[in-house]
Amino acid sequence: MWRAFLGHLKKLPPGNFLRCPLIAGRFLTRLPLPDPGPVSGPDFGRCAVLFPLVGLVLGSIVWGLSGLLTAAGIPDLGMAAALVLVVWVGLTGGLHLDGLADTADAWIGGLGNRNRTLEIMRDPGSGPFGVLALILALLCKWTALSALMTAGAPASLIWIPVLARAQLLVLILTTPSARPEGLGAEVRAHVPPTLAWIWVVVTLAASAPFLGAQWFGLVVAAAVLFLLWRRSMMARLGGFSGDTAGALVELSETLLLVVAVFLA
C-alpha cells in the first residue's frame, strides 16, 4: 500500500506538492487561495484525493467559529448558529447547495426519465422542488448547529465536513460518470485509486479518537446514505454527475449533523 503511495508521489511533476492542495481547495471552496495556474481534468483527478483534507479545513473553521461564539456568551445561540451557517455556506460558495437544488428539481421533474433528468440539471434556474430542498436542508442544519452549540460545540463539527467529502472520494472511486464526456469522467479516469483509498481509510481512522462513541453511529449513517443515494443515481442516470455529487455532500452534512444531535 505504502509502496503504491510513494510511487504515485514520484510521478507528480515538480510543484504538485503545492498545486494539489490549492487545486482541491479552490475547486471545493471560496477560500482566498493562491492561483495554481492552468488546471485541466487530469489535475482535478490527481488532486481529488485531498478532498477530505479540504473538509478538515472547513470543519476546523466552522468548529472554531462556533466555539468562539459560544464562549462569547451570546444570549441566543440560535442567532449564533445562523451566523456559523452563513459562514459555512459562504466558505463553499453554495457549491453543494446548488447541486442539491438542481438534483431535487431533476429527480422530481424528470419523472424517471434519464434524458429529461439530465436536461433539467443543465438548466441554471431553480424550480420549486429545488428551493424546497434548500429550505429544508438549511433548516435542519441550523437547528442541529444550534443544538450542538448548546452542548458546547463538540468535535463532530470538525469531522462532519471531512466525512462528507470522503464520501465524495468514494463516489468517484466506485461509480461511473453519468456523462462520458463530462468533468466527472475525466476526474474518475485520473484519480489514483490506491492513494485515494488510503486517504479514505486514514480519514476514518483519524476521526475515530475525536468522535469517540459517536464515531460508529456517524460512519454507519454516512454509509447507509451513500449506498441508498448511489443506488438511486445508478437507477436513474447510470452514474453520478457533478450535481448529484454535490447533493451527496450536502445530504451527508445535513444527516450527520442531525445524527450527531441524537448521539450527543
Tens of pLDDT, residues 27-39: 999 999 999 888 8
Q: Is residue 39 part of a domain?
A: no
Structural domains counted in the chain: 1
pTM given for the model: 0.91
Whether the predicted pLDDT of 12 surpasses 50: no
In which domain, by residue range, is 196 found?
63-263
Q: Is residue 57 part of a domain?
A: no
| Average pLDDT rounded to a whole number, residues 134-146 | 97
pLDDT attached to residue 17: 62
Q: Is residue 192 part of a domain?
A: yes
Segment 189-220, tens digit of pLDDT: 899 999 999 999 999 999 999 999 999 999 99
Q: Is residue 44 part of a domain?
A: no
Segment 91-127, tens digit of pLDDT: 999 999 999 999 999 999 998 899 999 999 988 888 9
- 6: pLDDT confidence band, cut at 50, 70 and 90? very low
Q: Is residue 234 part of a domain?
A: yes
Alpha helices in the chain (DSSP H): 2-11, 16-28, 41-47, 51-71, 77-92, 95-109, 114-122, 128-150, 156-174, 183-190, 193-211, 214-236, 242-263
Q: Is residue 26 part of a domain?
A: no
Please give the Cα distance from 48 to 21 (Å, whole number). 9
| Average pLDDT rounded to a whole number, residues 244-253 | 97
Q: Is residue 185 part of a domain?
A: yes
